[in-house]
Amino acid sequence: MKKQLHVITNGKQTGDEITRIARDIHTYITALHIREKTKTAKELTQLLEQLKRNGVPMSKIIINDRVDVAVCWQTKGVQLAYHSLDAALVRAAFPDMMIGCSVHSLEEAQNAEQKGADFLLYGHVFWTESKREQDPRGIEPLHHIVEQTSVPVIAIGGIKAENVCEVLHTGAAGIAVMSGILEAESPLEAAKNYKRELEVWNELNV
């Protein structure tokens, strides 16, 4: 299976900036997570309308937390956090929806899998500016979660082009990036660099 590249918004860009970046990079990525915690459902809808007008397919969009928005816009799926609706409730109501769950331990990962998650987002793996006061969880716990669960695990947190292979050696299904692409001098070139690392891995591990 080809390794995945997820990009997650971080609430720092305007809607116009998100749209511009998404328009440029969407062909190089697996999914764009709209993680805008301060936006209302109406504001998210306005952003999605803008993305769609600029050619970004809803099949590439994953909505953080807001199941209602994901359903109404028929996006690729929804990403559930600890404060979100229970994954089992979402699965029961929307059996065909792609559901991702953010997890930080093996217990959380196994619980999310049992409740019907299609994939897990695990981190933070390496040190990252956004969590500067928290120690990174490291590679070994990631590897352990991959081994002890049967759904794809996407790694997040401090992942740079130069450590992509180290992450993939754990068996992770892919990587998720925030500032490494969104705050890069050229988000397009950054996305291409990450994509290139994944393609090299795919070619060497067919």
Active-site positions?
124
Question: What's phi and psi for 158, nearest 5 deg?
Answer: 70, 20
Please give the Cα distance from 108 to 91 (Å, whole number).
17
| SS3 per-residue string spanning 22-84 | HHHHHHHCCEEEECCCCCCHHHHHHHHHHHHHCCCCHHHEEEECCHHHHHHHCCCEEEECCCC
Query: What are the tokens at 159?
Result: 């992942």
CA distance 202 to 184: 25
Q: Report which residue type is found at 6.
A: H
CB 120 within 8 A of CB 88: no
Residue position matching structure tokens 């998100």: 18
Beta bridge partners of 54: none
Nearest to 120 by CA among 190, 182, 73, 172: 172
Beta bridge partner(s), residue 153: 120
